[in-house]
Amino acid sequence: MRLLLLRHGQTPSNVAGLLDTGAPGPGLTPLGEQQAAAVPAAMRGRRIDALAVSSLVRTSHTAGPLATDRDLRPTVLDGLREVEAGALEMSSDLADHHTYLETVFAWSRGDRARRMPGGPDGDAFLSRFDDAVGALAADGHDVVLAVSHGAAIRSWSGARVRGLDVDELAYTPLANTGLIEVEGDPVSGWQLVDWRREPVGGAQLDAVVANDPTGEPVDD
């Protein structure tokens, strides 16, 4: 299966620098709507058999234009949601951002017992994201685009995808509507196909100024 993991469009919380991971979560900013609207053209000529979104509304809003363009009904999978920030929820503090990102990339490096303050450990996060990906694979589609979240995509990909360097992944931001594309299955594993750090609709849709906690790099 070819799996395209697309990060949602920009939200007000991304702009404000808030660790906003709770349900139902915010919608999109005007820039986020432009990023979502650019996805169908960016995917033109690409086969997509199915769409999936998380249970947080920003992913449904991002998938909407593509769903309309392809006449597809997205499957909602709670397991694709963002990594819960726990005690750090809604924090704008840079030290908390660092703790959050250090924790999710510790999971990618194999420290699954490490726990988000007041939140899940790595086994809990990876298990529920694995289950969501497994459900998509079980549906039998060859190409699936799943709209998920910055830290969730990067942490799961770092742990599960061959051909990705975890350090590079941790220190490289993933823009809103950035994409990590993989191929494989839950049994044999996943191999990197492509990694688009900028919005799929083009670099002109990237945020000029934003302190974006779940998409930013881990600072030294």
Residues 123-181 have pLDDT tens digits of 999 999 999 999 999 999 999 999 999 999 999 999 999 999 999 999 999 999 999 99
Can you tell me the distance from the alpha carbon of 169 to that of 174, in angstroms, rounded to the nearest whole number?
A: 9
Identified catalytic residue from 61, 82, 84, 89: 82
Q: Would you place residue 214 in the very low, low, confident or very high pLDDT band (cuts 50, 70, 90)?
A: confident
Contacts of 85 (CB under 8 A, 6+ apart): 19, 20, 21, 91, 100, 116, 119
Is 61 among the residues known to form the active site? no
Peptide bond into 24 cis (omega under 30): yes
Q: Stretch 191-210: mean pLDDT, rounded? A: 89
First to last CA, the chain: 36
Contacts of 127 (CB under 8 A, 6+ apart): none
Can you tell me the distance from the alpha carbon of 175 to that of 62, in angstroms, rounded to the nearest whole number?
A: 13
Three-class DSSP category at 179: strand
CATH class of 2-205: alpha beta
Rg (CA), the chain: 16
Amino acid at 112: R
Q: Would you place residue 209 in the very low, low, confident or very high pLDDT band (cuts 50, 70, 90)?
A: low
Cα–Cα distances in angstroms (integers) from residue 78 to residues 55, 143, 145, 166, 197, in the given order: 5, 20, 15, 25, 24
Tens of pLDDT, residue by residue over 43-94, are 999 999 999 999 999 999 999 999 999 999 999 999 999 999 999 999 999 9
Three-class DSSP category at 75: strand
pLDDT of residue 134: 98
Evaluate whether 99 touches 31 at the Cβ level (below 8 Å).
Answer: no
Three-class DSSP category at 192: strand
Q: Would you place residue 7 in the very low, low, confident or very high pLDDT band (cuts 50, 70, 90)?
A: very high
pTM, full prediction: 0.95
Can you tell me the distance from the alpha carbon of 2 to that of 145, in angstroms, rounded to the nearest whole number?
A: 8
Three-class DSSP category at 166: helix
CB atoms under 10 Å from CB of 156, counted, come to 28
Structure tokens at 11: 């939200």
pLDDT of residue 210: 60
Q: Is the pLDDT of residue 109 over 80?
A: yes
Structure tokens at 144: 């699936």
10 Å CB burial of residue 115 (0-12, 13-18, 19+) is middle
Identified catalytic residue from 8, 61, 97, 149: 8
Is 82 among the residues known to form the active site? yes
Evaluate whether 117 touches 86 at the Cβ level (below 8 Å).
Answer: yes
Q: Is the pLDDT of residue 4 over 80?
A: yes
